[in-house]
Amino acid sequence: MPPFRLGAVLLALTLPIVAEAQSLPDNPLSDCPDTPNCERVARGYEASPDTLYAAAERALESLGPVTLRRPDSSAARRLEAVYRVALIFKDDVAVAVRARDGGGSALYVRSASRVGHSDLGVNRRRVDRFLEAVGAALRDASSTS
């Protein structure tokens, strides 16, 4: 199958998971600085906040963090992870899940390098891999329920 068709098929498989475009609650995560070493995105999903939070937790764990924290309580639906890059650099990842008006939930993720000006796209790729892993975890959850 040509690569562009495979991409279209994969996109079609994820469409039921990602919510229709609608306004998302205000992003609770810090803004990125004016440097290219940070990535901050928000996505809407049809899944409940608890289901999305569990999928986000599995996705973060699958990317092999040095540490993974669940600040305060699970009611806050926030996660914080630290990833090591090139053995000496550390990147911080923050995730928040919020309920959306009208159903479904919003996923917020921020990945940022602690030092330096540029990360050569490391944080963007990490966010992309994280979102793919969230989609896979949601598909797994829907297939087992």
26-36: pLDDT as tens digits: 899 999 998 88
d(CA 59, CA 106): 16
For residue 4, is pLDDT > 90?
A: no
pLDDT at residue number 15: 40
User: Which one has a higher pLDDT value, 6 or 100?
Assistant: 100
User: Which one has a higher pLDDT value, 21 or 32?
Assistant: 32
* Domains of the chain, each with CATH number or no CATH: 3-144 (3.30.530.20)
| Residue 48, burial from CB neighbour count under 10 angstroms (0-12, 13-18, 19+) | middle
d(CA 57, CA 62): 9
pTM of the entire predicted model = 0.81
Q: How confident is the model at residue 145 (pLDDT cuts 50, 70, 90)?
A: low
Over residues 49-62, the mean pLDDT reads 96
